[in-house]
Structure 1
Amino acid sequence: DSHLFNLSSEKLKLNIRVTLIHQDILQFQFPNKQRYKIVGNIPYHLSTQIIKKVVFESHASDIYLIVEEGFYKRTLDIHRTLGLLLHTQVSIQQLLKLPAECFHPKPKVNSVLIKLTRHTTDVPDKYWKLYTYFVSKWVNREYRQLFTKNQFHQAMKHA
């Protein structure tokens, strides 16, 4: 939104700690060496793509996003691929509930302001591809691509 960007730029022009960037985040190359935080009100239909980009491609210590409330709940669901992948990198918390009336034009859904705080990863880089493969197959119940029939039955006996 160019109008909102211009208003924000004017209000924050004297704040040397804030850099506003008016660009497609999916095309943006995040800096590697400096410390930064990400703040954004993202298009709801791009929420999954954007959250993956900012979590897995940036080095931001904290990420503040306004997202659709249902999407926020899906990020917490460890029975979904996205939730299992995100929680290895960040903790996610709701900071504020934003009713639809807070926006113009008014959306059909409620929104929330969330904070994603980076933590030490649970999965080392060298195992990341294997982990994502495993999670994808597990969530989609493609057990036969992960285990032999006998291995699966033995594991289920102990579950």
Structure 2
Amino acid sequence: MSTYVQQLKEEYEKRLRVSERTLHGEKERRRQLGFHCKQLEAQLRKIQRDNESMGKQLKLMKKCASCSHLDQRSKSYNALNELLRGSVAALEPDVIASVGRSDELKAIKNANSNLQQCVDKLQSMLLEKGREALAAEKYYNNAISEREEQISRLQKE
């Protein structure tokens, strides 16, 4: 009878050691997942800061590309050219603004369109990076909760 009890005790101790090793491994894995989670949170904060920065830059680009601003620059540029050539028409920029203005306007609209496409592409890339970061964070959170459940089950045994 005592050998049977001895065998049970040894088996129990063996299972206990295995459970302790497993628990230690799970704790280490949880620590690593926590570290990865912190890294992802830092990346997410960085991406959010970059997003805010790009939003401000976009605002500035839109403001800079406004029609009235470009129209005034075009008039001033043409007036300065005429003044340098010694023309009296420089005193009235509206008169000479129509000269070559349609070509400049086309070029400006094309550049503005290209800038808008670039900004749209950057915004979509930023959104994609944000989605990837959130998906990774969700994955790690799920993995951590699964490991915690396994640890609690092992502790109950």
Q: TM-score, normalised by structure 2?
A: 0.17
Please state which structure has a larger fraction of its residues in helix: 2
Larger Rg: 2
Q: TM-score, normalised by structure 1?
A: 0.16
Please state which structure has a larger fraction of its residues in strand: 1
